[in-house]
């Protein structure tokens, strides 16, 4: 038994180092320490992340799978990916389509009472956050975390591992996750009023699941996603709002329109 534990030790060490490297590299990219287009070499990553070569390589592969890195065809290495405004919109739309499909499958596969109660409890917690009136940055963050939890649980009710993998990948892009735009929207609109509508949509989605109405569940979820992104064009052209979008340093060509000098 002691020998088996010793045999597992190097594997566990590499797994732990890889998890650490993935999180650190992701944080560095989102913080803008590694800019779009910057090439990442294994040697540099070993030094920067303070891990051995295998975890450094695996971290780059994982972030490539998440969409934050792109492969360099000529060398087989990776560079930080930049996103146009159009790609940001497409990422959010793709997540909405996938979530709509997940909601339809969930309704058709008859979620149990415990699952519906879990969704309703999440909505009730969000109601509690909204009940304080004007939302502080901390309360917006709390609401966003609950919103993410609601959508993650909704996706799991489809009981489709393949679909969940695609949803996880779509949501891994920081600006495409369900609650990612809330802090930015608060700079442009009456967020509390918008979230009253969002909460009603959450409740209607749960009702559609309970009624096993797949088409309605899908339509409501798609419309809910459109509400979340309705100010996206304004966010991407407003410097103050844009800096509150997670991963905004990866968005190239965003910001106020540039006017040529006359």
pLDDT tens by residue, 148-174? 999 999 999 999 999 999 999 999 999
Residue 148 CB coordination number (10 Å) = 16
Higher pLDDT, 143 or 252: 143
Q: What percent of the chain has pLDDT over 90?
A: 82
SS3 15: helix
- The span from the first CA to the last CA of the chain, in angstroms, equals 79
**Rounded-to-integer distance, Cα 121 and Cα 261, Å:** 55
**Rounded-to-integer distance, Cα 21 and Cα 8, Å:** 20
Closest of 132, 156, 155 to residue 143, by C-alpha: 132
**Rounded-to-integer distance, Cα 114 and Cα 96, Å:** 25
The predicted-structure confidence for 164-201, as pLDDT tens digits, reads as follows 999 999 999 999 999 999 999 999 988 989 999 999 99
Average pLDDT, the chain: 91
Domain edges within the chain = 2-80, 85-250
**Rounded-to-integer distance, Cα 123 and Cα 128, Å:** 9
Task: Give the dihedral of Cα atoms 173, 176, 182, 185; nearest 10 deg.
Answer: 110
The predicted-structure confidence for 89-119, as pLDDT tens digits, reads as follows 999 999 999 999 999 999 999 999 999 999 9
**Would you identify the CATH topology of the domain 85-250?**
1.20.120
> Is 85-250 the same fold as 2-80?
no
- Mean pLDDT of the 131-154 span: 92
pTM: 0.86
Architecture, CATH, for domain 2-80: Orthogonal Bundle (1.10)
Residue 74 — very low, low, confident or very high, per pLDDT cuts 50/70/90? Answer: confident
């Amino acid at each position: 038994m002691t020998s088996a534990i010793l045999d597992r030790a190097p594997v566990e060490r590499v797994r732990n180092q890889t998890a650490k490297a993935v999180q650190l590299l992701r944080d560095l990219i989102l913080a803008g320490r590694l800019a779009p287009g910057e090439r990442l070499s294994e040697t540099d990553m070993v030094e920067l992340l303070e891990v051995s070569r295998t975890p450094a390589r695996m971290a780059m592969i994982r972030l490539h799978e998440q969409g934050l890195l792109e492969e360099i065809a000529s060398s087989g290495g990776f560079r930080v990916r930049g996103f146009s405004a159009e790609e940001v919109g497409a990422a959010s739309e793709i997540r909405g389509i996938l979530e709509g499909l997940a909601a339809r499958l969930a309704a058709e596969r008859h979620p149990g009472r415990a699952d519906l109660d879990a969704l309703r409890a999440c909505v009730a917690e969000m109601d509690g956050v909204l009940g304080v009136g004007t939302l502080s940055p901390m309360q917006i963050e709390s609401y966003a975390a609950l919103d993410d939890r609601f959508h993650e649980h909704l996706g799991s009710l489809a009981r489709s591992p393949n679909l969940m993998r695609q949803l996880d990948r779509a949501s891994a892009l920081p600006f495409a996750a369900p609650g990612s735009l809330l802090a930015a929207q608060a700079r442009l609109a009456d967020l509390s009023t918008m979230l009253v509508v969002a909460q009603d949509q959450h409740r209607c989605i749960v009702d559609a699941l309970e009624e096993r109405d797949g088409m309605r569940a899908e339509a409501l979820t798609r419309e809910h996603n459109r509400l979340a992104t309705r100010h996206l064009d304004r966010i991407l052209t407003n410097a103050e709002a844009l800096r509150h979008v997670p991963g905004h340093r990866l968005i190239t060509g965003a910001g106020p329109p540039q006017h040529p000098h006359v």
